[in-house]
Amino acid sequence: MFFINVLSIALATCVYSTNASFGFGGTYEFLYEYQNGQFDNRSIDNDIEIKSKWIQQPLDHFSCNDQRTWQMRYFEALDFWKPGGPVYVFIGGESEADPIFLRTGMIYELAKETNGAMYLSEHRYYGKSKPFPNLNKDTLEYLSSTQGLVDLAKLITEIKRLPQFRTSKVVVIGGSYPGNLAAWMRLKFPNLVDAALASSAPVLAKKDFHEYIETVQDVFKKYGTPTCYSKIRSSFERYYQLLQTSNGIIQLKKENKICHNTDMTRPKNQQMFFMSKSSPLMHAVQYGSPESIKQTCLKIVNNTEIQISGRLLLKYSVQNKEKGCIDYEFERVMNSYANHPVIIPWFYQTCTEFGYYQSTSSLSHPFTNMVPPQIYYNMCTYLYGSTFDEARIDFGIRKSNALYGGLKPNVTKVIFVNGDMDPWHRLSVLDHLSQDAPAIFVSGTSHCVDLYSDRPFDPQEMIEARRLIKKTIKYWIGI
């Protein structure tokens, strides 16, 4: 066994022995949105041979007495590898790991240009990498970024044990929450990870993340039209006014197909309604482009429903197919999440580590004040129990920022990349930390766009940013 410094104190971790010496010093949306046109199909290499593999991991890396294990899934592609080539690890996050990320994009191009090996990890509790079949407050006890980082360390260690990779440099790549993990792997395991790309990484844990909604406003103002923004504001103000009277509630329920048994006088139900109505606009910004925002605005101005493809993590409502209506009753919505494979584990991480709650507590947005941060605290206690209260959220956030350094992580050879359209940039590193920890900020781009291959509609600034990223990583690993 070996020892890792955790939380800045000496703490033993019980994992398999290694020859290396280590120092261990998310969205409610997620990256896997290629269905929404993020990838250019012409750039996808379907000839890449990808193998699905498994590695045994300790359930609790920080307990020497707990001998339980589980199977973690990962993917391997060696089509481009030649002796002496580097190892690239694309870090999976709060969703099932998708091998398409080894067929295109930044990791694919780096591996092709440097004769590298490609790996894709799957985060514990997501996809098929589940320590327990059921998800609840008891089985989720072993879900954390710290456990996930040591999972990655063990995976990379096992890869480096293979004779062909013993002298290979290791580069980790991640976007969104996995972008955090990429930066933190370099921070905590500098002798194992040689360089990292942290794309759209919200490394600052924050409870009341009202800046998210502020950025949604900024994007619609900058890339939309005055008429569009005014209509968004007037629509949400009208929702608010309708909720003030019984006749108004009747009208609201009729217009929005709300189930008759949904009590829209309850604040929690009203908050779920407003979250549901703002979520598509948030999604349109986070995964949008200047052109897509213009198209969204055309739909808004023409009073047609905004159609959002891809997967929305939280819908804040229940579709009652039998009655043909939408239910916003807080308890029924929460119960519908039950064993949801993404919502239950990811929201648990927000309740215990990160916060990231997209409230309307700021005045700089068009959505009224109907989504206070308290609704998220209520979700935590309802889903996981009374001990998961605001105090516990505060504790987890303080612990995360103390452990990882917030906006000032003590790292080198990490590139932080963000776009001005991405609301998550408000929690990321935007200024150079040092010459060896640069930040790239690109206008007219959104969440994790740098991880894709060049697309016809990408701004020239992003194309140049991708070239700079590759050039910097190659320099850091001596190629």
Percent of the residues in the chain that have a pLDDT greater than 90, as a whole number: 83
Q: What was the pLDDT predicted at 434?
A: 97
Could you read off the pLDDT of 133-159 as tens digits, one per residue? Answer: 999 889 999 999 999 999 999 999 999
Q: Is the pLDDT confidence value at 7 over 80?
A: no
Q: What was the pLDDT predicted at 191?
A: 96
Q: What was the pLDDT predicted at 252?
A: 96
Could you read off the pLDDT of 79-118 as tens digits, one per residue? Answer: 999 999 999 999 999 999 999 999 999 999 999 999 999 9
Q: In the chain, what are the domain boundaries?
A: 3-203+407-476, 207-398
Q: Is the pLDDT confidence value at 54 over 70?
A: yes
Where does the pLDDT of residue 418 fall: very low under 50, low under 70, confident under 90, or very high at 90 and above? Answer: very high
3-state secondary structure the chain: CCEEEECCEEEECCCCCCCCCCCCCCCCCCCCCHHHCCCCHHHCCCCCCCEEEEEEEECCCCCCCCCCEEEEEEEEECCCCCCCCCEEEECCCCCCCCHHHHCCHHHHHHHHHHCCEEEEECCCCECCECCCCCCCCCHHHHCCHHHHHHHHHHHHHHHHHCHHHCCCCEEEEEECHHHHHHHHHHHHCCCCCCEEEEECCCCCCEEECCHHHHHHHHHHHHHCCHHHHHHHHHHHHHHHHHCCCHHHHHHHHHHCCECCCCCCCCHHHHHHHHHHHHHHHHHHHHCCCHHHHHHHHHHHHCCCCCCCCCCCCCCCCEEECCCCEEECCHHHHHHHHCCCCCHHHHHHHHHHHHEEECCCCCCCCCCCCCCCCHHHHHHHHHHHCCCCCHHHHHHHHHHHHHHHCCCCCCCCCEEEEEECCCHHHHHCCCCCCECCECEEEECCCCCCHHHCCCCCCCCHHHHHHHHHHHHHHHHHCCC
Q: What was the pLDDT predicted at 39?
A: 58
Q: What was the pLDDT predicted at 174?
A: 98
Highest averaged pLDDT of the listed ranges 3-7, 17-21, 100-104: 100-104
Average pLDDT over residues 182-186: 98
Average pLDDT of the chain, as a whole number: 89
Closest alpha carbon to 429 in 453, 454, 412, 449: 412
Does 198 or 320 have the greater pLDDT score?
198
Where does the pLDDT of residue 338 fall: very low under 50, low under 70, confident under 90, or very high at 90 and above? Answer: confident
Q: What was the pLDDT predicted at 21?
A: 25
348 touches 384 (CB < 8 A) = yes
367 touches 236 (CB < 8 A) = yes
Q: What was the pLDDT predicted at 260?
A: 93
Q: Is the pLDDT confidence value at 168 over 80?
A: yes
Where does the pLDDT of residue 316 fall: very low under 50, low under 70, confident under 90, or very high at 90 and above? Answer: low
Yes or no: domain 3-203+407-476 corresponds to CATH 3.40.50.620: no
Q: Is the pLDDT confidence value at 10 over 60?
A: no
Average pLDDT over residues 323-347: 92
Q: What was the pLDDT predicted at 38?
A: 60
Q: Is the pLDDT confidence value at 229 over 50?
A: yes
Where does the pLDDT of residue 31 fall: very low under 50, low under 70, confident under 90, or very high at 90 and above? Answer: very low
Q: Is the pLDDT confidence value at 37 over 60?
A: no
Q: Is the pLDDT confidence value at 166 over 50?
A: yes
Where does the pLDDT of residue 40 fall: very low under 50, low under 70, confident under 90, or very high at 90 and above? Answer: low
Could you read off the pLDDT of 239-292 as tens digits, one per residue? Answer: 999 999 999 999 999 999 999 999 999 999 999 999 999 999 999 999 999 999
Q: What was the pLDDT predicted at 20?
A: 27
